[in-house]
Structure 1
Amino acid sequence: MRASTRTRPAPDPSGVVGTVRLGRGARALLPRVRPGDVVALDQHDLDPATARALVDSGVAAVLNASPMLSGRYPSRGAEVLAEAGVPVLDGVGAEGVATLREGARVRIHDAQVLDEEGVLLASGRVVDLETVLTEMAQARLGLTAQLESFTRNSVELLRREEGLLLHGQGMPTPATSFAGRPAVVVARGHGHLAELDALRPFLREQHAVLVAVGAAADDLRKRGHRAEVVVLDADGELPSAPALRAATDVVVCGGQGRAEVTASLERLGVRPLHVDSSAATEDAALLIAHAGDAELVVTVGLATTLVDFLDQGRPGLASTYLTRLKLGPSLVDAAAVARLYSGRVRPHHLVLVVLAGILALLLAVGVTPVGQEWWDQLRDFSEGLFR
């Protein structure tokens, strides 16, 4: 039973109370979520980056009309929520979610969703950590089918967009110069702000080209950086007007809403470039940097493992795979750069070298006859000062 039966149980103060935030997908909900809210969505296989963002937002509970784990692969979003202690109900159903109102106060108790008067609105299944781990073990068996589908999609994408992926045909020519400079492509993913902070010496000393994917341009701006290139999904979230105006190049990727987005940008005084491709926005950003002959491409906030790619749950998975093959050894994750990059020689390094050289010279002179005579004179002079 998913829809309300409008029964009225006895008042019970236990459970989690919060304000309802409704949305089909979690990413669209995130800008509206406040601490203590109850998020109600309809999304299979919630990805871990979005789940962490929900945890960081301080959600009181998550209600999902769909299963948190569909069994296709071991999605880790539910695990992130369970480990953080966020109550989760899934299988609430579209009918159950339809009984909820945006901004209403509800109470989650056991597997039930109640209004302020204790009226039952919807029910679902409690998804705790034990349930998640059991179902993730079963879902690992579904990886084979997912990989087979992924292989077919990759071959089809390569056949359809061979010119763009292999030869760069249709790639725009930005005014920003990448040649001889490293490029850092920043997307909103798990830990992207921490990775960005760890890269600060690299960004400052290597004069890297900053390429922002969508709203990541605002994150760069808040950190005191400027995105020289902003790559937008025509159907996705746009960054703020100041971040767009500050960019040298703004590139819009495919999508049905391209004309509308282009018109919005032109009203801001921004004349965008375009990429006609079904590739994911972050993949288009990587290809733009590579086509510009960037000597190194560093990724911030992008997926790095196979399960991460599957967790994104998007059709663009094939483009991610082919793009990374295309960039090959020039592609490096931000975590690796932060560990390996020690920075250029700084003034205090030179001072230490000079002092070490002077000390070595004094020791060398001190063992010569002339040096011994100088040491004797210095000793006599210092003894005379204290008499």
Structure 2
Amino acid sequence: MAITNSKTTAVPIAKGTARKHRVTKELLRIIRPGCIAVIDHDDLDDLAAEGLIAAGVTCVVNAGQTMTGTAPVTGPLLLLERGVPVMEIEGSALSFINDDEELTVTAESITAGKRTIPCAAFTRERWLYFYKQAHHGHHERLREFIDNTLAYADKEKDLVLKPLYCPELRVRLEGRHVLVVTRGRDYKQDLAALNGYIEAYAPVFVGVDGGADALLEQGYRPDLIIGDMDSASDRALRCGAELVVHAYPDGEAPGLGRIRKLGLEAAVLSSCGTSEDIALLLAYDHQCEKIVTVGGHSHMFDFLEKGRKGMGSTVLVRMKIGSKLTDAKGIALLNCGLDKRLRKQALWKKASWKQAARSLLRKLRISKT
């Protein structure tokens, strides 16, 4: 790739201030409307795309592979359908774009100061090609995913065989319903569809990192926030919830630094597995009555989108807590479909009743004559 000092005369696709971060969810905390998002993100997932759209970016410049052909992600398509161009650059070019620098993006290049960086548009045709490729290679990917899952399940089985060690919590979980919200596909819609359940059972609200913000957006205050604290907003962390930082098995807890910078306190829980796994086990080991999950990760593509090549701990955790677990994934879609079906049935019954009435009237007229 050649970085030149020549100026381009091509028609600009987008102009704006660059906001740059290798971790997309970190970028979403600092980006402003009208900016150009500069990221390094392989297999751009739906959540990242939805976040970029909500942030009001005018263009996405990606130094990663927007799609690798491994996972059938639809994030790039979401951006394109909203009119947000997605431009790809080579990974080494990321260092030639500075944060807060004015960029001019054309179909073939990006002008940053006096530098011109080659780029290529990620199109709907490319999305369809990689999407089909991911589905065609499904069986081989599944084989690799199963092998990886089994290997890690053997290493991580102590996660479920032994109770979690955690400092005493202020929040009481024993005998109560616990609603665990994770930033997974359709998590906001599914949470909104649970209003009736929440009113009836008044569950303990547990936000797994960014899931805490979803609770706040629906008008619920999290009772407990668990995770490595990299995607929950400052507002969520300061909402008064009890905080539990998920640390690595060796005790290292990168998220604790952020908590201390905010002047907050948190318990630290060291364990392998995902933060979602830890939240579920914590509720189970504290003798809760029922666990309802929203936005949970449950299948291969969920994990591939997140860069995880197996789900050993997740399989084990669900084996342990399965008797208490209810997954609300897709409940909004089901409710919408059920509402439509009931409306159709009501219309059909109404139409059938009218038809029967007309038929009866015709018979009465005939009999009178």
Same fold at TM > 0.5: yes
> Aligned equivalents of 1:195 and 1:140: distance in 2?
26
Residue 81 of structure 2 is aligned to residue 88 of structure 1: no
Measure the CA separation in 1 of the matches of 2:236 and 2:38.
32
Q: How far 1:323 moved relative to its partner?
A: 2.5
1:312 and 2:306 are equivalent in the alignment: yes
Task: Please name the residue that 1:177 is paired with.
Answer: 172
Counterpart selection for 1:321 from 315, 318, 322: 315
C-alpha deviations, 1:311-342, integer Å up to 9, x for none? 122367332333333332533233566667xx
1:346 aligned partner: none
Which residue of structure 1 lines up, in the alignment, with residue 362 of structure 2?
none
Matched letter for residue 308 of structure 1: D
Shift of 1:280: 0.8
RMSD: 3.0
Q: Match for residue 243 of structure 2?
A: 250
1:90-105 equivalences in 2 (<5 Å):
90=88, 92-105=89-102
Q: Distance in 1 between matches of 2:255 and 2:306?
A: 26
Higher gyration radius (CA): 1
- Equivalent of residue 22 in structure 2, options 11, 19, 24: 24
Distance 1:230 1:155, change over 3 A: same
Q: Tell me how far apart the structure 2 counterparts of residues 83 and 327 of structure 1 sit (CA, whole Å).
A: 40
- State the alpha-carbon separation in 1 of the partners of residues 175 and 153 from structure 2: 29
- Write out per-residue CA displacement over residues 31-79 of structure 1, whole angstroms, 9 at most, x where no aligned residue: 1222222111112112211111112222111111122112223233223
Whether contact under 8 Å (1:179, 1:294) holds in the other structure is yes
1:218–1:243 CA contact under 8 A, matched in 2:
no
Partner of 2:108: 111
Give 1:155's aligned residue: 150
Task: Decide which of 287, 292, 295 is 2:286's aligned counterpart.
Answer: 292
Question: What SS does the corresponding residue of 1:134 show, helix, strand or coil?
Answer: helix
Residues 1:61 and 1:212: Cα distance change in structure 2 (over 3 Å): same
- Structure-1 separation of matches of 2:285 and 2:112: 56
Matches within 5 A, 1:346-357: none
Q: Which residue of 1 aligns with 2:38?
A: 40
Q: 1:197 aligns with which of 178, 192, 195?
A: 192
Q: Where does structure 2 lack aligned partners over 5 or more consecutive residues?
A: 336-369
Q: Hey, what's the Cα distance between the residues in 1 that align with 2:124 and 2:258?
A: 47
| Normalised TM-score (structure 1) | 0.75
Write the deviation string for residues 219-253 of structure 1: whole angstroms up to 9, x where unpaired.
Answer: 4345442322221216x345537745723x43221
Deviates more, 1:316-325 or 1:259-268: 259-268
In structure 2, how many angstroms separate the alpha carbons of the residues matched to 1:39 and 1:123? 17
Q: Distance in 2 between matches of 1:292 and 1:260?
A: 24
Question: Is 1:233–2:232 an aligned residue pair?
Answer: no
SS of the equivalent of 1:299 reads: strand
Contact 1:50 1:77 in 2 (8 A): yes
Secondary structure of the residue aligned to 1:122 is strand
Judged with a 3 Å threshold, the aligned counterparts in structure 2 of structure 1 residues 97 and 268 are, in CA distance, closer, same or farther, namely closer
Q: Secondary structure at the match of 2:137?
A: helix
Partner Cα separation in structure 2 for residue 186 and residue 79 of structure 1: 26
Change in Cα spacing, 1:222 to 1:76, as seen in structure 2 (3 Å) is: closer
